[in-house]
Amino acid sequence: MSNNGEATAINGRFKGKDIISLNQFSQKDIELLFKHTKNTKRITQKHTPSKLLSGYVVGLIFYEPSSRTFGSFSAAVKRMGGQTIEYLNPKENSSVAKGESLSDTMQTIQSYTNAIVIRHPQAGAAQKAADSADIPIINAGDGGNAHPTQGLLDLFTIYDTFSTLSKLTVVASGDVLHSRTIHSLIEGLSLFKGNTIYLLSPKELRLSKDYYDSFTKRGIKLIEIFDEKDIPKNAHVWYWNRIQKERFSNLEEAKKYEGKFVVTTNLLKTYGNKEMILMDPLPRVGEIEEAVDQDPRSVYLKTQMRNGMYIRMALLGLILGKIK
């Protein structure tokens, strides 16, 4: 949607809106989305075909690799009876290879579709895309900045477990500097009251001052820790994410941090508790030992991943005005 360089607040009305960041959401907007997500989950699990998006086409353009975000958006559209045009690796397979600008590419895709989902390596690219398009643009990850739909599915997973998104203690670990999923999780949890997030990372990969200031201004309590020994034993959620090696100019440097904070059965035994859940947006690249997958508290390969499709179905239905 063309606007003035800033995404519009949802304010109870999803129809026609871009989804660029979780800053656009209020607590009520999240509640409305979750109400519909419970529904999309139920109808999908019952294999009741939905025809809500019949006659609609959604463009998916991914300038960066993706398995889950791409797959779940594509499945979400199809499970609601809509269709997709998919531009994967557009730098090779589309006119982007000939030097076409982002703005021209967006105007092209919008002539065929009703909404566009975009993943791009540059922070701010989703907003730029939204500025050049007249149809809704959904940010599926813009560089090291944000990944709002991942944030929404993560919030839904937490809500589904604890029936609340307030007064929670979360440990988020990994490449906190570059992790767009951790940024969006913090942004999402800061919409609710009384949450504390421990950020566990190597010192060099701590949250940037700009993000730190803008998040804490919204009332969330952030506690930076640099040693596993400081993990609080009362956390509701452990959220682990890999080192984002594609954001480093030097791959060797990224490698230095891999294997630094790994969830092992032993770490869980020492610092975990019975009620907590262990999340990871995936892909997992060594930050969680495979033996941990069998633990019932591990939700990353199970509900967390599946919730991605349900939340994206609900979001698309709302944005395209097919549900209210």
Which residue lies nearer to ligand NCD by CB, 39 or 66? 66
Binding site for ligand NCD (CB under 6 A): 68-69, 141, 147, 150, 180-181, 241-242, 281-283
CB of 69 to ligand NCD, least distance (A): 4
Which residue lies nearer to ligand NCD by CB, 141 or 317? 141
| CA pair distance 285, 102, nearest whole angstrom | 31
Q: String of b and e for 283-310 (b: at least 16 CB within 10 Å)?
A: ebeebbeeebeeeebbbbeebbbbbbbb
Place of tokens 């009332």: 219
Catalytic, 8? Answer no
Which residue lies nearer to ligand NCD by CB, 134 or 204? 204
Q: Which of 8, 13, 68, 297 is catalytic?
A: 68
Catalytic, 47? Answer no
Catalytic, 147? Answer yes
CB of 179 to ligand NCD, least distance (A): 7
Residues with Cβ within 8 Å of residue 190, at least 6 apart in sequence = 215, 218, 219, 220
Strands, E assignment, the chain: 57-62, 83-88, 115-120, 137-142, 169-173, 196-200, 221-225, 237-240, 277-279
Catalytic, 255? Answer no
Catalytic, 218? Answer no
CB of 301 to ligand NCD, least distance (A): 12
Identify any residues that bridge with 278 across adjacent strands, giving them in sequence order: 238, 298
| CA pair distance 36, 81, nearest whole angstrom | 17
CB of 281 to ligand NCD, least distance (A): 4
Q: Which of 36, 147, 236, 306 is catalytic?
A: 147
Which residue lies nearer to ligand NCD by CB, 161 or 241? 241
Q: Which residues are catalytic?
A: 68-69, 98, 119, 147
